[in-house]
């Protein structure tokens, strides 16, 4: 079984340990959830997994490939994608252009190829155009394809973030609060798309504060508290756990 594994991940800012020994192993085919109080270190863990922050100790492996010394782009090339808690769309580009930027290395970016292999460049561009169209339709963003991304609603921006990742052929995706600032109808819409992607074999680890919506979606739940994992398992059992109730809900 292919998996994402971490062992003893630590990250400190001076004296303050934001991550304090995170060890976990999850199937790359699954739908996994992650909850925890504000400041528990969830987004920081995502940044370490995706290579945007360097851990001070610990190991990460993805599909048995060591990730520690790889750049974010190299990790993405292995099929590892992540979205950000605050969407990072290019506000002054259209939705379609934002998706085109998400495509992996394009031959048209190389001057040599552009000069000496223009047919190859044209073919690759046509392929990317088709893939963009497919993603726009899948995410129901086709009606706003030529609108500036900065003008989208909160939910549409979250969908665009997901679309940008889909352009890079991911095997596993980290989603940081996909439902935050999203209306209930669009929350169901986003969940449905995640389920459909999972049916095609793409796995997810999803951070969310909307526990109800998250539980309808995931197979298992990780709880983080003060930089470490407090519990992991079946969502109903985890939420009954005394330590989780105290840490997360204060009762």
Ligand X SMILES: Nc1ncnc2c1ncn2[C@@H]1O[C@H](COP(=O)(O)OP(=O)(O)OP(=O)(O)O)[C@@H](O)[C@H]1O
Instruction: Give the whole-angstrom CA distance, residue 39 versus residue 16.
Output: 12
User: What, of ligand X, Mg ion, none, does residue 119 touch, CB below 5 to 8 Å by kind?
Assistant: none
Cβ(128)–Cβ(100) below 8 Å: yes
Residue whose structure tokens are 């109800």: 212
Residue number with CB closer to ligand X (18 or 174): 18
Verify binding: residue 13, ligand X, rule CB under 6 A: yes
Nearer Cβ to Mg ion (43/156): 43
50 binds Mg ion (CB under 5 A): no
Q: Which is nearer to ligand X, 166 or 176 (CB)?
A: 176
Q: How far is the CB of 48 from Mg ion (least distance, A)?
A: 13
Interacting residues with ligand X between 187 and 226 (CB under 6 A): none
H helix intervals, 149-183? 154-166
| SS3 (DSSP) at 42 | helix
Q: Which does 251 bind (CB under 5 to 8 A by kind): ligand X, Mg ion, none?
A: none
Strand-pairing partners, residue 203, are 172
End-to-end, the C-alpha distance of the chain in Å comes to 38
Scanning 2-10, 81-89, 142-150, 237-245 for contacts with Mg ion by CB under 5 A, the matching segment is 81-89
Residue 175 beta carbon to Mg ion: minimum distance, rounded to whole angstroms: 11
Count of residues near Mg ion by CB under 5 A: 2
Q: Compute how many residues bind ligand X; rule: CB under 6 A.
A: 11
Residues 142-181 binding ligand X (CB under 6 A) are: none
215: tokens are: 């539980």
Member of 7, 27, 77, 85 binding ligand X (CB under 6 A): 85
Tokens of 12: 């400190």
Dihedral of CA 203/205/208/212: which sign? Answer: positive
Q: Closer CB to ligand X, residue 96 or residue 232?
A: 232
Q: Distances from the Cα of 206 to the Cαs of 12, 15, 30, 118, 225, in angstroms? A: 23, 29, 11, 41, 16
x/- mask, ligand X, residues 31-70, rule CB under 6 A, reads: -----x-xxxxxxx--------------------------
Stretch that binds Mg ion, among 36-44, 58-66, 136-144, 208-216 (CB under 5 A): 36-44
43 touches Mg ion by CB under 5 A: yes
Which is it for strands 65-66 and 57-62: parallel, antiparallel or unpaired? antiparallel
Rounded Cα distance between 19 and 10, Å, is: 5
Q: CA gyration radius for the chain?
A: 19
| C-alpha span between 20 and 8 (Å, rounded) | 8
Judged by CB under 5 A, the stretch of 42-50, 152-160, 197-205, 210-218 that binds Mg ion is: 42-50
Q: Interface residues with Mg ion (CB under 5 A)?
A: 43, 85
Q: Interface residues with ligand X (CB under 6 A)?
A: 13, 18, 36, 38-44, 85
């Amino acid at each position: 079984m292919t998996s994402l594994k971490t062992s003893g991940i630590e990250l400190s800012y001076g004296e303050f340990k934001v991550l304090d020994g995170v060890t976990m192993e999850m199937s790359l085919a699954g739908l996994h959830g992650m909850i925890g109080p504000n400041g528990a270190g969830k987004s920081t863990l995502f940044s370490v997994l995706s290579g945007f922050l360097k851990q001070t100790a610990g190991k990460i492996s993805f599909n048995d490939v060591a990730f520690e010394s790889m750049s974010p782009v190299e990790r993405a090339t292995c099929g590892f994608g992540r979205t950000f808690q605050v969407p990072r769309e290019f506000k002054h580009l259209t939705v379609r252009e934002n998706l085109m930027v998400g495509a992996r290395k394009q031959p048209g970016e190389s001057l040599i190829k552009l000069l000496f292999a223009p047919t190859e460049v044209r073919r690759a561009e046509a392929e990317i155009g088709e893939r963009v169209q497919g993603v726009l339709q899948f995410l129901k963003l086709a009606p706003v394809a030529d609108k500036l991304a900065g003008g989208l609603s909160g939910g549409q921006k979250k969908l665009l973030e997901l679309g940008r990742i889909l352009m890079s052929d991911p095997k596993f995706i980290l989603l940081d609060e996909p439902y935050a600032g999203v209306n209930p109808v669009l929350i169901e819409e986003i969940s449905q798309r995640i389920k459909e992607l999972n049916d095609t074999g793409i796995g997810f680890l999803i951070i969310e504060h909307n526990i109800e919506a998250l539980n309808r979606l995931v197979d298992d739940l990780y709880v983080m508290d003060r930089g470490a994992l407090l519990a992991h398992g079946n969502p109903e059992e985890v939420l009954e756990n005394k330590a989780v109730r105290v840490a997360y809900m204060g009762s």
